[in-house]
Amino acid sequence: MLRGALLQISESDSVRSAVVKAPMSRAVVARYVAGETVPEAVGSAAELQTTHRMTTIDHLGEDVTDRAQAEHTRDVYVALLDALAEQDLAADGRAEVSVKLSAVGQAIPGDGDAMALEHAREICAAAQRLGTTVTIDMEDHTTTDRTLEAVRALRADFPWVGAVLQSYLHRTEADCRDLAHEGSRIRLCKGAYKEPESVAYQDGTDVDLSYVRCLKVLMAGQGYPMVATHDPRLVEIGSALAKHHDRSADSYEFQMLYGVRDLEQKRIADRGHQMRVYLPFGEDWYGYLVRRLAERPANVRFFLRSLATR
Ligand code: FAD
């Protein structure tokens, strides 16, 4: 209930403005966001590689309605990829990028889908040139079909493009079946948006059970599952399923968010699994931060205090 309420009030402009200006927010932001600039993001990726953790880097910002902003985001991604390659961090996909289509134009009325696809294509071309990969993040359910369609179009030229599926959606087990084919990189997560009962499980146990069903399909298939969760039971189940299907260590990976369960990330990497950290950076951290707070009730007091100290 708290999660839903938080996601709901976060849509208010006055709440956004209060939180962004509050000094207390900065401390919470620093936990989940690796700085505001490309050099800061590259520095964090380098640091994580010292403990054998790969990264997928997200330039924060979503629901962009301005063409110039969408173009700017594309340019930041290309500059980021160049900077990763310069530091020899990108090769073999060790540091890749995650892109939200709404950050590169999908939400712009009229030709938004075509613009987002073109921008994503340019980011993929840069990634290919530098020997790394791109994963297209999944946003709320109103964009699922269009986002999967864009992934299909991108894969025609860049077969390594990753897609994301969310276990809270009723449709996802079927999507897993469709996408568990050879070479298909699929990140499975629970899902971070407030979704209606008509399309999504509302109860945490149902979301978890769906996650396990989806994981079974992906691990039994021919694709490359990316198990994105901090849930210890699901990590164990992912590991057991990989073993059951005789998967080699390089045929799947675990993923967690920057700032969440850091010790567990290192432990998973030390056990010989591939571990990738989702590393967000940039100035537009508000939407991302609220979703992280909503997942962790203990963090909400920071959020409320940040409003009170204004
Ligand atoms: P939960 O049941 O939420 O958490 C399990 C345990 O993990 C908690 O008990 C707690 O100990 C710890 N934990 C979880 N979250 C936090 C937190 N914020 N702070 C501190 N501890 C925490 N969602 C999308 O909708 N689209 C995407 O494209 C997407 N990409 C993602 C990429 C990665 C690599 C990851 C890890 C998640 C992504 N998500 C995405 C978010 C995801 O959908 C969930 O909202 C989020 O991961 C929390 O779910 P959980 O599986 O960790 O389980």
C-alpha 262 to ligand 1 mean position (Å): 13
Binding site for FAD: what residues are annotated? 138, 166, 190-192, 229-230
Q: What is residue 222's predicted lDDT score, i.e. its pLDDT?
A: 98
The model's pTM: 0.93
Classify burial at 159, counting beta carbons within 10 Å of its beta carbon; exposed 0-12, middle 13-18, buried 19 or more.
exposed
- Among the atoms of ligand 1, which is closest to the Cα of residue 278? 34
Span 39-55, average pLDDT: 97
DSSP 177: H
Atom 53 of ligand 1, residue of closest alpha carbon: 231
Give 228-274 pLDDT, tens digit per residue. Answer: 999 999 999 999 999 999 999 999 999 999 999 999 999 999 999 99
Half-sphere exposure of 194 (CA within 13 A, CB side): 15
Atom 9 of ligand 1, residue of closest alpha carbon: 231
- Among the atoms of ligand 1, which is closest to the Cα of residue 204? 2
Given a cut of 70, is residue 296 above it in pLDDT? yes
CA distance 269 to 257: 14
The pair of structure tokens assigned to 244 is 């059951």
Q: Which of 275, 230, 271 is nearest to 252 (CA)?
A: 275
Measured over all CA atoms, what is the biggest interatomic distance in the chain, rounded to whole angstroms? 55
- Other CB atoms within a 10 A radius of the CB of residue 63 amount to 14
Q: Which of 293, 238, 281 is nearest to 58 (CA)?
A: 281
CB 135 within 8 A of CB 185: yes
Atom 47 of ligand 1, residue of closest alpha carbon: 229
Domains along the sequence of the chain with CATH? 1-33+297-310 (no CATH), 34-284 (3.20.20.220)
- Other CB atoms within a 10 A radius of the CB of residue 178 amount to 11
Q: Cite the active site residues.
A: 137, 187
Give 109-139 pLDDT, tens digit per residue. Answer: 999 999 999 999 999 999 999 999 999 999 9
C-alpha 293 to ligand 1 mean position (Å): 10
Judged by average pLDDT, the poorest of 13-27, 142-156, 174-188 is 13-27
Cα dihedral 97, 303, 310, 64 in deg (nearest 10): 30
What is the CB < 6 Å shell around ligand 1?
A: 137-138, 164, 166, 187, 189-193, 228-231, 255-257, 260-261, 278, 292, 295-296
Q: What is residue 301's predicted lDDT score, i.e. its pLDDT?
A: 66
Averaged pLDDT score across all residues of the chain: 92
Given a cut of 60, is residue 308 above it in pLDDT? no
Atom 3 of ligand 1, residue of closest alpha carbon: 295
Name the 3-class secondary structure at 274: coil
Confidence of residue 290 (pLDDT cuts 50, 70, 90): confident
- 52 vs 19, which has greater pLDDT? 52
C-alpha 229 to ligand 1 mean position (Å): 5
Q: How far is CA 286 from the centre of its chain?
A: 15
Span 173-202, average pLDDT: 97
Q: What percent of the chain has pLDDT over 90?
A: 80
Q: What is residue 86's predicted lDDT score, i.e. its pLDDT?
A: 97
Give 90-113 pLDDT, tens digit per residue. Answer: 999 999 999 999 999 999 999 999
